[in-house]
Structure 1
Protein backbone atom coordinates (compact mmCIF):
# COMPACT_ATOMS: atom_id res chain seq x y z
CA UNK A 1 0.00 0.00 0.00
CA UNK A 2 1.07 3.55 -0.64
CA UNK A 3 0.87 6.25 2.02
CA UNK A 4 -1.94 6.64 4.48
CA UNK A 5 -5.57 5.60 4.27
CA UNK A 6 -7.56 8.69 3.24
CA UNK A 7 -11.11 9.45 4.44
CA UNK A 8 -13.55 10.00 1.56
CA UNK A 9 -16.73 11.94 2.36
CA UNK A 10 -19.81 11.57 0.14
CA UNK A 11 -22.65 14.08 -0.01
CA UNK A 12 -26.03 14.31 -1.72
CA UNK A 13 -25.62 17.36 -3.94
CA UNK A 14 -24.02 19.69 -1.40
CA UNK A 15 -20.38 18.58 -1.70
CA UNK A 16 -19.21 22.00 -2.91
CA UNK A 17 -20.76 23.65 0.15
CA UNK A 18 -19.09 21.05 2.40
CA UNK A 19 -15.71 21.48 0.68
CA UNK A 20 -15.85 25.25 1.11
CA UNK A 21 -16.90 24.90 4.76
CA UNK A 22 -14.25 22.33 5.73
CA UNK A 23 -11.48 24.13 3.84
CA UNK A 24 -12.30 27.28 5.82
CA UNK A 25 -12.57 25.42 9.15
CA UNK A 26 -9.21 23.67 8.71
CA UNK A 27 -7.43 26.43 6.78
CA UNK A 28 -6.95 23.94 3.94
CA UNK A 29 -6.43 24.37 0.20
CA UNK A 30 -9.12 23.04 -2.15
CA UNK A 31 -7.57 20.91 -4.89
CA UNK A 32 -8.88 19.53 -8.18
CA UNK A 33 -12.66 19.99 -8.23
CA UNK A 34 -14.12 17.87 -11.05
CA UNK A 35 -17.84 17.76 -11.79
CA UNK A 36 -19.73 14.80 -13.24
CA UNK A 37 -20.58 16.93 -16.28
CA UNK A 38 -16.86 17.26 -17.05
CA UNK A 39 -16.28 13.50 -17.00
CA UNK A 40 -15.72 11.28 -20.00
CA UNK A 41 -19.00 9.36 -19.68
CA UNK A 42 -22.70 10.08 -20.25
CA UNK A 43 -24.14 12.21 -17.46
CA UNK A 44 -27.76 13.31 -17.08
CA UNK A 45 -28.11 17.13 -17.11
CA UNK A 46 -29.37 17.15 -13.51
CA UNK A 47 -26.10 15.52 -12.38
CA UNK A 48 -23.73 17.75 -14.38
CA UNK A 49 -22.94 20.19 -11.55
CA UNK A 50 -22.51 17.56 -8.85
CA UNK A 51 -18.94 17.10 -7.63
CA UNK A 52 -17.41 13.87 -8.94
CA UNK A 53 -14.16 14.30 -7.03
CA UNK A 54 -12.34 16.91 -5.03
CA UNK A 55 -10.08 17.14 -2.06
CA UNK A 56 -8.77 19.58 0.45
CA UNK A 57 -5.35 19.51 2.05
CA UNK A 58 -3.27 21.23 4.66
CA UNK A 59 0.17 19.67 4.90
CA UNK A 60 -0.29 15.93 5.49
CA UNK A 61 -3.99 16.41 6.36
CA UNK A 62 -6.03 15.26 3.36
CA UNK A 63 -9.76 14.62 2.90
CA UNK A 64 -11.37 13.57 -0.39
CA UNK A 65 -14.95 14.58 -1.21
CA UNK A 66 -17.68 13.89 -3.79
CA UNK A 67 -21.40 13.94 -4.36
CA UNK A 68 -23.11 10.60 -4.86
CA UNK A 69 -24.25 9.95 -8.40
CA UNK A 70 -27.99 10.24 -8.96
CA UNK A 71 -29.89 7.19 -7.72
CA UNK A 72 -27.31 6.34 -5.05
CA UNK A 73 -28.80 7.50 -1.74
CA UNK A 74 -26.52 8.94 0.91
CA UNK A 75 -27.20 7.80 4.47
CA UNK A 76 -25.29 8.09 7.72
CA UNK A 77 -22.89 5.17 7.49
CA UNK A 78 -22.37 5.09 3.73
CA UNK A 79 -21.21 8.68 3.43
CA UNK A 80 -17.65 7.91 4.57
CA UNK A 81 -15.26 5.47 2.92
CA UNK A 82 -11.56 4.75 3.22
CA UNK A 83 -9.46 5.29 0.11
CA UNK A 84 -6.47 2.98 -0.37
CA UNK A 85 -3.90 3.32 -3.14
CA UNK A 86 -2.40 -0.01 -4.18
CA UNK A 87 1.08 -0.46 -5.64
CA UNK A 88 0.31 -3.01 -8.35
CA UNK A 89 -2.48 -4.60 -10.36
CA UNK A 90 -1.87 -7.85 -8.47
CA UNK A 91 -2.19 -6.11 -5.10
CA UNK A 92 -5.47 -4.36 -5.93
CA UNK A 93 -6.89 -7.62 -7.30
CA UNK A 94 -5.94 -9.49 -4.13
CA UNK A 95 -7.32 -6.82 -1.77
CA UNK A 96 -10.53 -6.58 -3.81
CA UNK A 97 -11.01 -10.36 -3.85
CA UNK A 98 -10.62 -10.59 -0.07
CA UNK A 99 -12.80 -7.60 0.83
CA UNK A 100 -15.74 -8.72 -1.31
CA UNK A 101 -16.07 -12.09 0.47
CA UNK A 102 -19.36 -11.83 2.41
CA UNK A 103 -19.43 -8.13 1.49
CA UNK A 104 -21.13 -5.98 -1.15
CA UNK A 105 -19.50 -4.75 -4.34
CA UNK A 106 -20.61 -1.19 -5.12
CA UNK A 107 -18.35 -0.91 -8.18
CA UNK A 108 -16.60 -3.90 -9.73
CA UNK A 109 -12.81 -3.76 -10.09
CA UNK A 110 -12.30 -2.20 -13.51
CA UNK A 111 -10.23 0.06 -15.70
CA UNK A 112 -11.36 3.67 -15.44
CA UNK A 113 -10.52 6.93 -17.17
CA UNK A 114 -9.10 8.36 -13.92
CA UNK A 115 -7.00 5.39 -12.73
CA UNK A 116 -5.65 2.15 -14.10
CA UNK A 117 -7.96 0.19 -11.78
CA UNK A 118 -10.68 1.14 -9.29
CA UNK A 119 -13.24 -0.67 -7.14
CA UNK A 120 -15.64 0.26 -4.33
CA UNK A 121 -16.43 -2.53 -1.85
CA UNK A 122 -18.30 -2.68 1.44
CA UNK A 123 -16.74 -5.43 3.53
CA UNK A 124 -18.53 -7.90 5.80
CA UNK A 125 -18.17 -5.47 8.70
CA UNK A 126 -19.88 -2.62 6.81
CA UNK A 127 -16.70 -0.62 6.10
CA UNK A 128 -16.62 0.90 2.59
CA UNK A 129 -13.28 0.81 0.76
CA UNK A 130 -12.30 2.78 -2.36
CA UNK A 131 -9.44 0.82 -3.93
CA UNK A 132 -7.32 2.34 -6.65
CA UNK A 133 -4.20 1.61 -8.64
CA UNK A 134 -3.01 4.79 -10.40
CA UNK A 135 -2.02 5.12 -14.02
CA UNK A 136 1.65 5.42 -14.84
Structure 2
Protein backbone atom coordinates (compact mmCIF):
# COMPACT_ATOMS: atom_id res chain seq x y z
CA UNK A 1 0.00 0.00 0.00
CA UNK A 2 1.24 3.45 -0.91
CA UNK A 3 0.11 6.64 0.85
CA UNK A 4 1.47 10.17 0.31
CA UNK A 5 0.43 13.56 1.68
CA UNK A 6 0.69 16.28 -0.95
CA UNK A 7 0.11 20.03 -0.45
CA UNK A 8 -2.71 21.20 -2.74
CA UNK A 9 -3.11 24.89 -3.51
CA UNK A 10 -6.50 26.18 -4.64
CA UNK A 11 -6.25 29.41 -6.60
CA UNK A 12 -8.94 31.90 -7.62
CA UNK A 13 -8.45 32.02 -11.39
CA UNK A 14 -4.71 32.71 -11.27
CA UNK A 15 -3.25 29.18 -11.14
CA UNK A 16 -1.42 29.61 -14.47
CA UNK A 17 0.23 32.74 -13.07
CA UNK A 18 1.09 30.87 -9.86
CA UNK A 19 2.69 28.05 -11.87
CA UNK A 20 4.94 30.52 -13.67
CA UNK A 21 5.77 32.24 -10.39
CA UNK A 22 6.73 28.99 -8.60
CA UNK A 23 8.73 27.80 -11.59
CA UNK A 24 10.88 30.91 -11.22
CA UNK A 25 10.82 31.37 -7.43
CA UNK A 26 11.20 27.70 -6.42
CA UNK A 27 12.73 26.22 -9.58
CA UNK A 28 9.58 24.09 -9.81
CA UNK A 29 9.22 21.72 -12.74
CA UNK A 30 5.74 21.48 -14.24
CA UNK A 31 4.85 17.78 -14.50
CA UNK A 32 1.22 18.08 -15.61
CA UNK A 33 -1.31 20.80 -16.32
CA UNK A 34 -4.87 20.61 -17.65
CA UNK A 35 -7.41 23.37 -18.11
CA UNK A 36 -11.14 22.85 -17.65
CA UNK A 37 -11.69 22.96 -21.42
CA UNK A 38 -9.23 20.04 -21.85
CA UNK A 39 -11.33 17.78 -19.62
CA UNK A 40 -13.90 15.35 -21.10
CA UNK A 41 -17.12 17.18 -21.96
CA UNK A 42 -20.23 16.58 -19.90
CA UNK A 43 -23.39 17.56 -21.82
CA UNK A 44 -25.34 17.76 -18.54
CA UNK A 45 -22.98 20.49 -17.28
CA UNK A 46 -21.87 22.74 -20.13
CA UNK A 47 -18.66 24.60 -19.42
CA UNK A 48 -19.09 28.37 -19.02
CA UNK A 49 -16.73 30.50 -21.11
CA UNK A 50 -15.07 32.03 -18.03
CA UNK A 51 -14.06 28.54 -16.79
CA UNK A 52 -12.42 27.23 -19.95
CA UNK A 53 -8.87 28.54 -19.46
CA UNK A 54 -8.76 28.01 -15.70
CA UNK A 55 -6.54 25.19 -14.48
CA UNK A 56 -8.51 22.11 -13.43
CA UNK A 57 -5.40 20.33 -12.14
CA UNK A 58 -1.63 20.75 -12.22
CA UNK A 59 1.29 18.99 -10.58
CA UNK A 60 4.71 20.53 -10.02
CA UNK A 61 7.91 19.03 -8.64
CA UNK A 62 9.74 21.23 -6.14
CA UNK A 63 12.95 19.50 -5.14
CA UNK A 64 11.82 16.06 -3.97
CA UNK A 65 8.24 17.17 -3.20
CA UNK A 66 5.19 17.34 -5.41
CA UNK A 67 2.79 20.25 -5.10
CA UNK A 68 -0.62 20.15 -6.77
CA UNK A 69 -2.82 23.09 -7.61
CA UNK A 70 -5.96 24.13 -9.42
CA UNK A 71 -8.30 27.05 -9.86
CA UNK A 72 -11.72 27.29 -8.32
CA UNK A 73 -14.60 26.90 -10.71
CA UNK A 74 -16.22 30.29 -11.39
CA UNK A 75 -18.73 31.03 -8.65
CA UNK A 76 -17.15 28.72 -6.05
CA UNK A 77 -16.22 30.47 -2.83
CA UNK A 78 -12.56 31.27 -2.35
CA UNK A 79 -11.03 32.89 0.67
CA UNK A 80 -7.38 33.56 1.37
CA UNK A 81 -6.31 31.23 4.15
CA UNK A 82 -8.36 28.21 3.06
CA UNK A 83 -6.73 27.69 -0.31
CA UNK A 84 -4.30 25.05 0.95
CA UNK A 85 -5.54 21.50 1.34
CA UNK A 86 -3.77 18.20 1.92
CA UNK A 87 -4.20 15.67 -0.84
CA UNK A 88 -3.92 12.09 0.43
CA UNK A 89 -2.83 9.99 -2.52
CA UNK A 90 -3.31 6.22 -2.28
CA UNK A 91 -3.20 3.32 -4.67
CA UNK A 92 -5.99 1.36 -2.95
CA UNK A 93 -9.71 2.32 -3.22
CA UNK A 94 -10.61 0.45 -0.01
CA UNK A 95 -7.91 2.32 1.90
CA UNK A 96 -9.26 5.57 0.42
CA UNK A 97 -12.79 4.73 1.60
CA UNK A 98 -11.60 3.92 5.12
CA UNK A 99 -9.60 7.16 5.45
CA UNK A 100 -12.46 9.19 3.97
CA UNK A 101 -14.96 7.69 6.43
CA UNK A 102 -12.69 8.35 9.40
CA UNK A 103 -11.97 11.94 8.36
CA UNK A 104 -15.71 12.48 7.82
CA UNK A 105 -16.57 11.62 11.45
CA UNK A 106 -17.77 14.93 12.93
CA UNK A 107 -16.49 16.65 9.77
CA UNK A 108 -18.11 18.04 6.62
CA UNK A 109 -18.07 16.18 3.31
CA UNK A 110 -17.53 18.73 0.55
CA UNK A 111 -17.52 16.12 -2.26
CA UNK A 112 -18.59 12.53 -1.62
CA UNK A 113 -16.00 9.85 -2.37
CA UNK A 114 -16.83 8.65 -5.87
CA UNK A 115 -15.46 7.39 -9.14
CA UNK A 116 -14.40 10.19 -11.48
CA UNK A 117 -12.83 10.27 -14.93
CA UNK A 118 -9.41 10.75 -13.28
CA UNK A 119 -9.68 8.48 -10.22
CA UNK A 120 -11.51 5.31 -9.14
CA UNK A 121 -12.18 6.95 -5.75
CA UNK A 122 -11.93 10.72 -5.22
CA UNK A 123 -13.60 13.02 -2.69
CA UNK A 124 -12.98 15.92 -0.34
CA UNK A 125 -13.77 16.49 3.30
CA UNK A 126 -13.10 19.05 6.01
CA UNK A 127 -12.32 17.20 9.25
CA UNK A 128 -13.60 18.13 12.68
CA UNK A 129 -10.53 20.35 13.19
CA UNK A 130 -11.21 22.40 10.06
CA UNK A 131 -8.43 20.80 7.98
CA UNK A 132 -9.34 20.34 4.30
CA UNK A 133 -8.43 16.97 2.75
CA UNK A 134 -8.76 15.57 -0.74
CA UNK A 135 -8.62 11.80 -1.09
CA UNK A 136 -7.19 10.77 -4.47
CA UNK A 137 -6.82 7.16 -5.55
CA UNK A 138 -4.36 6.43 -8.32
CA UNK A 139 -5.37 4.09 -11.07
CA UNK A 140 -7.51 3.77 -14.14
CA UNK A 141 -11.28 3.66 -14.02
TM-score by length of 1: 0.92
**Residues 2 and 84, structure 1, Cα contact 8 Å, conserved in 2:** no
**Residues 30 and 55, structure 1, Cα contact 8 Å, conserved in 2:** yes
In the superposition, relative to structure 1, how do residues 65 and 97 fare at CA in structure 2: closer, same or farther (>3 Å)? Answer: same
Matched, 1:24 2:35: no
Alpha-carbon distance in 2 for matches of 1:123, 1:69: 22
Pairwise CA RMSD of aligned residues? 1.4
SS at match of 1:22: helix
Counting only pairs closer than 5 Å after superposition, residues 44-63 of structure 1 correspond to structure 2 as 44-63=48-67
- Offset from partner CA, 1:18-44 (integer Å, 9 cap, x none): 111011111121121100111113321
- For structure 2, which runs of at least 5 residues remain unmatched after alignment? none
- Offset from partner CA, 1:40-95 (integer Å, 9 cap, x none): 13321110000000121134122111001122111123200001112322111111
Which aligned runs of 4 or more in structure 1 are off by greater than 2 angstroms? 1-4
Tell me which residue corresponds to 1:35: 35
Tell me which residue corresponds to 2:8: 8
Residue from 80, 93, 96 that aligns with 1:89: 93
Query: For structure 1, which segment, 103-112 or 53-62, has the greater mean C-alpha deviation from structure 2 after superposition?
Result: 53-62
Matched, 1:66 2:65: no
Q: How many residues align?
A: 136
**Residues 3 and 91, structure 2, Cα contact 8 Å, conserved in 1:** no
Matched, 1:129 2:139: no
Alpha-carbon distance in 2 for matches of 1:106, 1:72: 12
In the superposition, relative to structure 1, how do residues 3 and 94 fare at CA in structure 2: closer, same or farther (>3 Å)? Answer: closer
- For structure 1, which runs of at least 5 residues remain unmatched after alignment? none
* Deviation of 1:3 (Å): 4.7
